[in-house]
C-alpha cells in the first residue's frame, strides 16, 4: 500500500519554524506578487501564498496586469516594484501568457529579492552549486527525499517535462549530485516503455491523467509536481486511483508538493533578508 505524502502537515511544521525566524527580523517585510491575467491555477497558488504571508506577519501585495501587456512594459513594472525599499521579495507568478518573454521579465527581479530563484543571476549560482537559496520545488523535493530516506543511487530516475519551475531545476539538482536521470517530454512516443522501467518519477508535464497505473512497475515512487484544472478540479499528472495501486510512495495533487513549495518560498525570502543584513 502506498504511503501518501501529507504536504499540508509537513508544510505546517516548516512554517512553525519560520515563524521563529521571522520574529528575529524586526523590520517590516513586503512580498510583491506579479500576476498577469487571471488563470485559475495561478489564483489558487496566490491564495495559499497570501495565507502563509499572514501567518508570518508579511505584507502581501498582488500587482495585477492584463494578459495583453507587452514584455517590455511588464519588465518595467517588475523593476519598479523591486525598487520599493520595503519590498523584500518579488515573485512573478508563472506561467506567463505565451506571448510574454518570460526570461526577460524574470531577469528584472533583483538577485537579493528573488525568493523563487528564477532570475538568470540566481539560476547561474544554483547551477554552479553556489546559491544560498534553491528553487522552492527543488527544496521541497530534497526535503521529501531526505525525510522518506529515498535512495537515488543506481535507480532509474525519470523527470517528465522540462519547465522553468520543475523539470529544469530538478535536472540541475541531480547533476550537481552526480546522479543519472532521464528527461522525458510529455508527448514522447515511447513513453510507456520508459515509464515501465522507472523506479522514481518526478512529473511536471501539466497534463492530467498522463501517468496511469498500468504503465508503472510495482513499488515505483512518484512525485507529482503538476497543478492542473481538469473538469473544475485540481489534479496533477497522475490518474490517482490506478497509480496508488502500484506506487510505494506518492505525493498527491492537491496537498502534496504544492504546500511545501510555498513554505520553501518563504524560507528563501527570510534567508535572503538575513543574508542582506549580515
Lowest mean pLDDT among 4-8, 149-153, 187-191: 187-191
- What single-letter DSSP state applies at residue 151? -
SS3 category, 254? coil
pTM here is 0.94
Residues 6+ apart with CB under 8 A from 134: 117, 126, 142, 169, 173, 264, 268
- What single-letter DSSP state applies at residue 105? H
Ranges of each domain in the chain: 27-110, 136-258
SS3 category, 189? coil
| Mean pLDDT of the region 207-229 | 93
Domains 27-110 and 136-258 share a fold: yes
pLDDT in tens, 134-143: 999 999 999 9
Distances, alpha carbon 238 to alpha carbons 32, 41, 67, 80, 209, in Å = 32, 17, 29, 40, 5
Band of the pLDDT at 193, cuts 50, 70, 90? confident
d(CA 212, CA 180): 24
SS3 category, 183? strand
Alpha helices by DSSP H, 108-166? 120-127, 136-147
Band of the pLDDT at 162, cuts 50, 70, 90? confident
User: Which residues in 24-107 belong to E strands, given as ranges?
Assistant: 30-36, 59-65, 87-92
Q: Domain 136-258 sits in which CATH superfamily?
A: NAD(P)-binding Rossmann-like Domain (3.40.50.720)
d(CA 250, CA 243): 9
Q: The domain 27-110 is classified under which CATH number: 3.40.50.10860, 3.40.50.300, 3.40.920.10, 3.40.50.10190? A: 3.40.50.10860
pLDDT in tens, 88-112: 999 999 889 999 999 999 999 999 9
Write the secondary structure of 218-239 as one string of H (helix), E (strand) and C (coil): CCEEEEECCCEEECCEEECCEC
Amino acid at each position: 500500500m502506498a504511503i501518501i505524502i501529507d504536504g499540508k502537515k509537513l508544510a505546517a511544521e516548516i512554517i512553525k519554524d519560520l515563524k521563529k525566524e521571522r520574529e528575529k527580523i524586526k523590520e517590516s517585510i513586503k512580498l510583491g506578487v506579479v500576476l498577469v491575467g487571471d488563470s485559475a491555477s495561478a489564483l489558487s497558488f496566490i491564495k495559499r501564498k497570501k495565507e502563509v504571508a499572514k501567518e508570518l506577519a508579511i505584507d502581501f501585495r498582488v500587482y495585477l496586469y492584463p494578459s495583453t501587456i507587452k514584455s517590455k512594459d511588464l519588465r518595467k513594472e517588475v523593476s519598479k516594484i523591486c525598487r520599493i525599499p520595503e519590498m523584500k521579495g518579488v515573485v512573478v507568478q508563472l506561467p506567463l501568457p505565451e506571448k510574454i518573454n518570460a526570461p526577460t521579465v524574470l531577469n528584472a527581479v533583483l538577485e537579493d529579492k528573488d525568493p523563487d530563484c528564477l532570475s538568470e543571476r540566481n539560476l547561474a549560482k544554483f547551477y554552479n552549486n553556489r546559491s544560498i537559496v534553491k528553487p522552492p520545488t527543488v527544496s521541497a523535493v530534497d526535503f521529501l527525499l531526505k525525510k522518506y530516506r529515498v535512495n537515488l543511487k543506481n535507480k532509474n530516475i525519470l523527470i517528465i517535462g522540462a519547465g522553468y519551475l520543475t523539470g529544469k531545476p530538478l535536472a540541475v539538482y541531480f547533476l550537481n549530485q552526480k546522479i543519472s536521470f532521464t528527461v522525458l517530454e510529455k508527448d514522447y512516443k515511447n513513453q510507456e516503455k520508459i515509464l515501465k522501467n522507472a523506479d522514481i518519477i518526478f512529473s511536471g508535464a501539466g497534463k492530467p491523467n498522463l501517468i496511469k497505473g498500468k504503465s508503472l512497475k510495482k513499488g515505483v515512487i512518484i512525485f507529482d509536481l503538476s497543478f492542473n484544472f481538469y473538469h473544475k478540479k485540481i489534479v496533477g499528472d497522475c490518474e490517482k486511483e490506478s497509480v496508488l495501486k502500484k506506487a510505494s510512495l506518492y505525493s498527491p495533487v492537491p496537498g502534496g508538493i504544492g504546500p511545501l513549495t510555498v513554505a520553501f518560498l518563504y524560507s528563501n525570502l527570510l534567508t535572503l533578508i538575513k543574508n542582506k543584513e549580515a
